């Protein structure tokens, strides 16, 4: 019968080997993904846009869903005159880096070439200001700011608790309060942007022409027609149909396979 200490040591050895193998595999996979991304960038630079599209899609399939990858993929689709996929990937890039001027510019450029011209109902000005402020930074940048200001809070909390100088104690208190407010606010903004990505209710029309109906059935009354590249907001889904809303408030039902969620 094996000594219990030997069994414990064997388990520790197996666990260590497993961790080493997992780390090695992750490192190799990350390096392979970086090489794939570099290959896609080179294909794009050489004007091999369709090959670049395939390679960028492989990078995304491996979980590297960065704003830059979606942006480059959108550019490749745009170069091949595929407005629907181009706008879809620009929108995905914008969600991950809302303050990026290049993404916004190319997205607007692509939108100008679609058939539909839909007026947007303006948001309440306070809602618009808050959204613009949140979009100054990406979710990752807000998260870094939250962590950094929380560390600042801990430093000044320590000063407040241990200093005997009244002036320094007062300063530490108010700076600590400000730091924790910024930390909490930044954390909330980061979570809101993450939620916008995970729970996005937006979709892009992929068919060249889509009939929007009054009910989720072919027999529903035809309300209006929209075209490739138009953004819709998903309100509900029933048996292969989406209830959608346009930015001007128009609503109706269309088949799910005619759009691609952002």
> For the segment 151-174, what is each residue's pLDDT rounded down to a tens digit?
999 999 999 999 889 899 999 999
Domain total in the chain: 3
88 and 149 housed in the same domain: no
Q: Does pLDDT of 194 surpass 50?
A: yes
Last residue of a domain, which of 89, 111, 133?
111
Question: Is residue 164 domain-resident?
Answer: yes
Q: Which residues make beta-bridge pairs with 233? A: 202, 245
206 and 180 housed in the same domain: no
Question: Is residue 215 domain-resident?
Answer: yes
Q: Which residues make beta-bridge pairs with 241? A: 238, 255
> Shortest CA distance to 253 belongs to which of 262, 240, 202?
240
255: which 2 tokens? 């088949």
10: which 2 tokens? 């064997």
What's the mean pLDDT in 236-260? 95
Beta carbons of 146 and 201 less than 8 angstroms apart: no
pLDDT number for residue 59? 95
Query: What is the distance between the alpha carbons of residues 254 and 122, in angstroms, rounded to a whole number?
Result: 25
Q: Could you give the angle at the alpha carbon of 29 between the alpha carbons of 28 and 30, nearest 5°? A: 90
Q: What does DSSP say about strands 241-245 and 231-238: parallel, antiparallel, or unpaired? A: antiparallel
253: which 2 tokens? 């039902």
Beta carbons of 111 and 229 less than 8 angstroms apart: yes
Q: Does pLDDT of 8 surpass 90?
A: no
Domain that holds residue 81: 4-111
| Average pLDDT of every residue of the chain | 88
Question: Is residue 88 domain-resident?
Answer: yes
> Shortest CA distance to 85 belongs to which of 64, 102, 60, 122?
60
Beta carbons of 222 and 94 less than 8 angstroms apart: no
Question: Is residue 247 domain-resident?
Answer: yes
177 and 214 housed in the same domain: no
pLDDT number for residue 96? 92
Question: Is residue 120 domain-resident?
Answer: no
Q: What is the CATH number of the domain that holds 216?
A: 2.30.30.40
Q: Does pLDDT of 28 surpass 60?
A: no
Contacts of residue 182, defined as CB under 8 A and 6 or more positions apart, other chains included, come to 145, 146, 149
Q: Which residues make beta-bridge pairs with 232? A: 203
pLDDT in tens, 119-153: 877 777 788 888 889 888 888 899 999 999 999 99
pTM (2 d.p.): 0.77
pLDDT number for residue 1? 52
Q: Could you give the angle at the alpha carbon of 121 between the alpha carbons of 119 and 126, nearest 5°? A: 140
Beta carbons of 116 and 225 less than 8 angstroms apart: no
Give the confidence band of 191 by pLDDT, cuts at 50, 70, 90.
Answer: very high
181 and 228 housed in the same domain: no
Phi-psi region of 83 (alpha: psi -120 to 50; beta: other; left: phi over 0): alpha
Question: Is residue 142 domain-resident?
Answer: yes
């Amino acid at each position: 019968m094996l000594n219990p200490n030997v069994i414990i040591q064997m388990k520790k050895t197996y666990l260590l080997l497993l961790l080493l193998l997992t780390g090695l595999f992750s490192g190799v996979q990350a390096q392979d993904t970086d090489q794939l991304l570099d290959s896609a960038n080179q294909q794009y630079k050489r004007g091999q846009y369709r090959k670049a599209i395939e390679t960028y899609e492989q990078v995304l399939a491996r979980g590297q869903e960065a704003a830059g990858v979606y942006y480059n993929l959108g550019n490749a689709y745009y170069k091949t005159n595929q407005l629907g996929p181009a706008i879809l990937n620009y929108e995905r890039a914008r969600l991950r880096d809302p303050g990026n001027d290049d993404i916004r510019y190319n997205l607007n450029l692509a939108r100008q070439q679609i058939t539909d011209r839909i007026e947007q109902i303006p948001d309440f000005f306070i809602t618009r200001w808050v959204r613009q402020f949140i979009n100054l930074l990406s979710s990752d940048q807000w998260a870094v700011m939250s962590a950094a200001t929380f560390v600042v809070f801990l430093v000044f909390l320590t000063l407040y608790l241990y200093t005997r100088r009244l002036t320094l104690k007062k300063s530490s208190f108010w700076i600590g309060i400000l730091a924790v407010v910024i930390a909490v606010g930044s954390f909330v903004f980061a979570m809101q942007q993450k939620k916008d990505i995970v729970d996005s209710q937006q979709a892009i029309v992929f068919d060249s022409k889509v009939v929007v109906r009054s009910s989720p059935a072919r027999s529903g009354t035809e309300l209006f027609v929209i075209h490739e590249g138009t953004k819709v907001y998903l309100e509900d889904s029933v048996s292969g149909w989406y209830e959608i809303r346009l930015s001007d408030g128009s609503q109706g039902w269309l088949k799910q396979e005619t759009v691609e969620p952002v």
